[in-house]
Structure 1
Amino acid sequence: MALHIATPLLPSNAFDPGPGQQVWLKMEALQPSGSFKLRGIGHACEVYAARGAGRIVASSGGNAGLAAAHAARRLGLPALVVVPQTTSGRARALLAREGAQVCVHGISFQEANAYAQSLLGPQDAFIHPFDDPLLWEGHAGMIDEVADAGLRPDAVVLSVGGGGLLSGVVAGLRRQGWNDLPVFAVETAGADSYAQSLAAGERIELPAINSIATSLGARKVSEHAFALARTHPITPVVVTDGEAVAACLRFMDEHRVVVEPACGAALALAWRPGGPLAAFDKVLVIVCGGATATVAQLQAWGAQLNVQSANRMSETRS
C-alpha cells in the first residue's frame, strides 16, 4: 500500500481566467505529511526498506524531512533527520511528532546534509530532499492521476527549488506522451538558482538564500533538473516574496487551505494578470503545500511585506 494518497484535482474559478480558460489545482498540500514530498520520498523509503534498510536518515528541516519521518514511522523504521540551526521550532516539533530523532547541525542545509551523510551506517538509507531518481519516479504519479481524471492540460505551473518536483512532473508528462507540454517553473527572487542557471547556461550556486520561501532555498539545482531544460519546454519565472505571500493569503481565503510561500510562488504566477499563462486554455497548477506554514506566520509576513489578502490583490488588479 502506498504511503501517499491520490490527491484531489479541482477546477477553480478563483483565478479570474480569461475567456475559455480553466485553471485546475492538483492539491498536493493534502498529502498526509503536508506536501508533495511524500510521493517521492515515500516511494524511496519503501524501496530502501524492501532492500533491507534498518533506518532512514534525511537532511532537511522542512517538507522533505517531514515526509521521510512520516514514511519511516509508517514502515516501522527509526528515522534520523538532521536539520540546520535555522530550522524553526515548529518544524522541529512536527518532526518529533512523527517520531523522528532530530539532530541540529550547521547553519545551512549544505552543512546539515554533509553531516547527515557522515552519520550513515551500513544498514541506513539516506534520503536526499530532491536529487534521487526514486523521488522523481514517485512524484511522477501525480501526473498519472491527472491523466486518469481525463485532463490533458495545455500548461503546467509549479514551484522549483532543488528540482525534485520539476524532475518528477516532467517524468510524468513523458510517461503520458505529453512531451511538448510547457512547464512554467516558478521561484522567488533571492532563491532563484534555477532561473539564474538557465540564464547563465550553466549551474550557478547562490551565495545565500535571500527569500522567505526557504523551501525553495536550494543554492544549486540538481544537474538533472538543469539538463531537462534542454529537452523539454521549461520556462523559468521569478516572482517576489510579496507576490508569493499575497498568493498564499488569497489562496487561504479562496480555498480554505494554508500553503507556504514556496507554494505561493506558483500560485502567484497563476494570479498574475496578463502573464504568460494567458495563452493557454487549460492550466494545471501543482499546489505543492508546506507543512510548516501557519496562518499567523503568513499574516506576519503579509504585514512585513505590506500585502494582505484576496481583497487587496483584487484591488491591485482593477
Structure 2
Amino acid sequence: MPLHIETPYVESRALSERSGRAIWLKFESAQPSGSFKLRGIGHACETYYARGAQRFISSSGGNAGLAVAYAGRQLDVPVIVVVPETTPARARELLRLEQAAVIVHGASWQEANAYAQSLLAAGDAFLHPFDDPLLWQGHASMIDEMARHGHKPDAIVLSVGGGGLLCGVVEGLQRNGWQDIPVLAVETEGTASLHAALQAGHPVELAAVHGVATSLGARRVCDQALTWAHSHPIHALRVSDPAALGACEQFLADHRVLVEPACGAALSVVYDGHPVLNAYSKLAIIICGGATTTIDQIRQWAAAC
C-alpha cells in the first residue's frame, strides 16, 4: 500500500454559489502529513528504500520535510531534516513529533539545502522538495483519483512554488487522457518564479522572494515546469498577499479547514472572481494543505499587510 491516502474530491457549494460555476475541491490537506507532498515524497521514499536506502535526508522545514519525516517513521528509516533559521517553532515541533532529527542551518532554504547535501553518505537518500521525477510520478496519482471519480473539470487551479505540484498534475493529466485540461498556476507577487520564466522563455532565478506564502518561495522553478508549459496549456496568474490571506480566512469559514497562504493564493482566484475564470464553467482546485500554519499567524500577517 502507498503511504498516501485517497483524498476527497467534492463540490464546494459555497464556492460554486459565490462564483456562479461548479467548483470542485481535491482535499490534499487530508493527507497524513498535512499536504499533497506525501504523494510524491512517499513514492520517492519507498523507491529509495527498495533500493537499499538506510537514511533519508531533506532540506525543508515545511510540508516536504514533514512528508519525509512521516514516510521515514512509517518505513522505520531514520530521517534528518535541515531547516533554515526562519523555520517557525511549530514546524520544528511537528518534525520532531514525526521522530525526525532537526538541524537548523542558514538564513535561507538554499543554505539549508547545501548543508543537507553535504551530510550525504553511503546508504543515504536525498529527498528534494520539488525537483525529482519520482515526486512528479507520485503527485500525479491525485489526477488518477479524479479521473476514476469521473468529474472532469474544464480547468485545474493550483499554486506554484518550485513546480513539483504543477509537474505532477500535468503528468497525471497526460497519462489519463486529460491533456486538453488547462492548468491555472497561481503564485503570489513576491514568489513569481514561474511567471518570470514564462516571460523570459527560459528558467529565471529571482534575486529574492518575499511575502507570506513562504512555501512558494523557490527563487527558480524547476526546468520541467517550463518544459511542460511548452506542450500543455498552463496559465500563470499572480495574486497579492492580502488576497491569499483573505482566502484562507474565508475558506476556514466555508469548509472548516485551515490552509496556508500558498493554498490561499489558488483559492483567491475563485474568491475574488479573477477574469480568467470567465472561460470556464467547472473548475477543480487542489487544496494543497498547510500543516504548519495557524489561524493566529494568518491574522498577524493580514494585520501587517
The amino acid that maps onto 2:190 is G
Q: Residue in 2 aligned with 1:134?
A: 134
Distance in 2 separating the partners of 1:241 and 1:274: 15
1:232 aligns to 2:232 (yes or no): yes
SS of equivalent to 1:187: strand
Unaligned runs of 5+ in 2: none
Q: Following superposition of structure 1 onto structure 2, how do residues 220-299 of structure 1 map, counting pairs within 5 Å?
A: 220-299=220-299
Tell me the CA shift for residue 279 of structure 1: 1.7
SS at match of 1:14: helix
- Mapped partners of 2:214, 2:273: distance in 1: 26
Task: State the 1:133 CA deviation.
Answer: 0.4
Alignment length, in residue pairs?
304
- 1 CA distance for matches of 2:175 and 2:106? 39
Q: Determine helix, strand or coil for the equivalent of 2:210.
A: coil
**Equivalent in the alignment of 1:205:** 205
Match of 1:172 in 2: 172
Q: Which residue identity is paired with 2:2?
A: A
Report the secondary structure of 2:191's partner residue: coil
Q: Name the CA distance, whole Å, in 2 between partners of 1:142 and 1:18.
A: 24
The offset of 1:303, in angstroms, is 2.1
State the partner residue of 1:148: 148
Alignment pair present for 1:82 and 2:82: yes
**Corresponding residue for residue 40 of structure 2:** 40
Separation of aligned partners in 2, 1:252 and 1:89: 23
Aligned-partner SS, 1:71: helix
The residue type paired with residue 289 of structure 1 is G
- Cα pair 2:19 2:271 within 8 Å, conserved: no
Partner of 1:5: 5
Classify the secondary structure of the residue corresponding to 1:190: helix
Q: Distance in 2 between matches of 1:17 and 1:181?
A: 23
Give 1:208 shift.
Answer: 1.4
User: Which residue identity is paired with 1:296?
Assistant: D
Q: Could you report, residue by residue, the CA deviation over 1:93-115 in whole angstroms, capped at 9, with x for unpaired residues?
A: 11011000001111111111111
1:159 maps to a residue whose letter is S
- 1-side partners of 2:199 and 2:18: how far apart? 30
Q: Structure 1 residue 238: deviation in Å? A: 0.2
Aligned to 2:124: 124
1:181-211 CA-partner distances (Å, limit 9, x unpaired): 1100000011111111111112111111111
For residues 44 and 210 of structure 1, the distance between their equivalents in structure 2, rounded to whole angstroms, comes to: 29
Structure 1 unaligned spans of 5+: 306-318
- CA contact under 8 A between 1:7 and 1:28: conserved in structure 2? yes
- In the TM superposition, residue 304 of structure 1 has moved relative to its aligned partner by 2.1
1:49 corresponds to which residue? 49
2:300 corresponds to which letter in structure 1? Answer: A
CA RMSD of aligned residues (A): 1.0
Q: Distance in 1 between matches of 2:273 and 2:202?
A: 31
Q: Which runs of 4+ in 1 moved over 6 A?
A: none
User: What residue identity is the alignment partner of 1:162?
Assistant: G
Residue type of the partner of 2:187?
Answer: E
1:274: how far off?
5.0
Mapped partners of 1:139, 1:47: distance in 2 = 14
Answer whether contact 1:17 1:23 (CA < 8 A) is retained.
Answer: no
Q: Quote how far apart the aligned CAs of 1:58 are.
A: 0.4
Q: Which residue number in structure 2 is paired with residue 312 of structure 1?
A: none
After superposition, the C-alpha distances for 1:151-175 in whole angstroms (9 at most, x for unaligned) are: 1111000000000000000000001
Shift of residue 18, structure 1, vs aligned partner: 5.0
Contact 2:186–2:237 at 8 Å: present in 1 too? yes
Deviation digits for residues 58-98 of structure 1 (CA, Å, limit 9, x no counterpart): 01010000000000000000000011111111111110110
CA contact (8 A) 1:18 1:278 kept: no
Q: Which residue of 2 aligns with 1:215?
A: 215
Question: How far 1:296 sits from its partner (Å)?
Answer: 1.1
Q: Which amino acid aligns with 1:129?
A: P
Residue of structure 1 equivalent to 2:62: 62
Q: Is the CA contact (8 Å cut-off) linking 2:19 and 2:273 kept in structure 1?
A: no
* Matched residue type, 2:249: L
2:19–2:270: 8 Å Cα contact kept in structure 1?
Answer: no
The CA deviation at 1:56 is 0.6
Q: 1:142 & 1:277 partners in 2: Cα distance?
A: 22
SS at match of 1:181: coil
> What is the CA–CA distance in structure 2 between the aligned matches of 1:18 and 1:249, rounded to whole Å?
17
TM-score normalised to the size of structure 1? 0.94
